[in-house]
Amino acid sequence: MTSDDVKKTGTTTLGMVCKDGVVIATEQRATMGTLIAHKKTKKLYKIDNHLALATAGLVGDLQSLARYLSAEANLYRLKRDAPMPVKSASTLMANIMNQRKFMPYYVQLVLGGYDADGGHVYALDAAGGSIPDKYTSAGSGSPYVFGVLEDHYKENMSKEEGVNLAVRAISSAISRDSASGGMISVAYISKNGFEAISEDEVKQKMAALKK
């Protein structure tokens, strides 16, 4: 499967490392070819209090992988009385997908989280590749996201700056990619855990971009 095959499923996701945490974001449109199948679809999954997964691809595969990783993260916490490191979670997910590379999961994933070593973001492909980066994006709208991030991302951004940039980048994809649309889901993960940014706050940020 090529990256172009995955892009045909639609979606825009992103993850970026900020000064004190990680921002993960997605839009919510689900498409089947030219049909908008669902206007509000869950693509951002809380895996543990310190881990989140942004997903692009087939819904069944995505939901299955999110449940699998969440269960493994919970087992790790129970056995070791400590949260699973972000790198370990990424490696585990990469190994799961690599085992199916000849009949692969039809997905692109962005895994983000915060652990004892700070914030981390990983891009995972359908064949099991796992690549850490300061920021990344996946799905059909990713070229537009990368365009915004390449121009505006900077290291050591505050939570507010990171959330604002995420909304700006996803909004750019929504404006140009027909497979991306609807509301934007945003989460911020720091030493204080997983925080879902409220829909009202996201709407305010989206409205501010149009002024």
Query: Domains of the chain: which residue ranges?
Result: 3-209
The residues annotated with a catalytic role in the active site are 11
Question: Is the pLDDT reported for residue 3 higher than 70?
Answer: no
pTM of the predicted structure, to 2 decimals = 0.91
Mean pLDDT of 55-62: 90
Q: Say if residues 201 and 166 touch (Cβ distance below 8 Å).
A: no
Using left for φ > 0, alpha for ψ between -120 and 50, and beta otherwise, residue 158 falls in beta
pLDDT tens per residue across span 9-29? 579 999 999 999 999 999 988
Token pair listed for 81: 């009385």
What one-character DSSP code corresponds to residue 9?
A: T
DSSP string, 66-107: HHHHHHHHHHHHHHHSSPPPHHHHHHHHHHHHHTTTTS---E
Mean pLDDT of 173-192: 93
pLDDT tens per residue across span 140-173? 999 999 999 999 999 999 999 999 999 999 999 9
Mean pLDDT of 83-111: 94
For residues 8 and 116, the model is more confident at 116
CATH 3.60.20.10 holds for 3-209 = yes
Provide CB contacts within 8 A for 49, sequence distance 6+: 83, 193, 194
- Residue 7: its pLDDT value, please? 39
What's the start-to-end Cα distance of the chain, in Å?
41
Question: Is the pLDDT reported for residue 63 higher than 60?
Answer: yes
Question: Is the pLDDT reported for residue 6 higher than 80?
Answer: no
- Residue 92: its pLDDT value, please? 97
Provide CB contacts within 8 A for 87, sequence distance 6+: 120, 122, 132
Q: What is the C-alpha to C-alpha distance for residues 167 and 148, in angstroms, rounded to an integer?
A: 11
Question: Is the pLDDT reported for residue 84 higher than 60?
Answer: yes
Question: Is the pLDDT reported for residue 5 higher than 80?
Answer: no
Q: How confident is the model at residue 77 (pLDDT cuts 50, 70, 90)?
A: very high
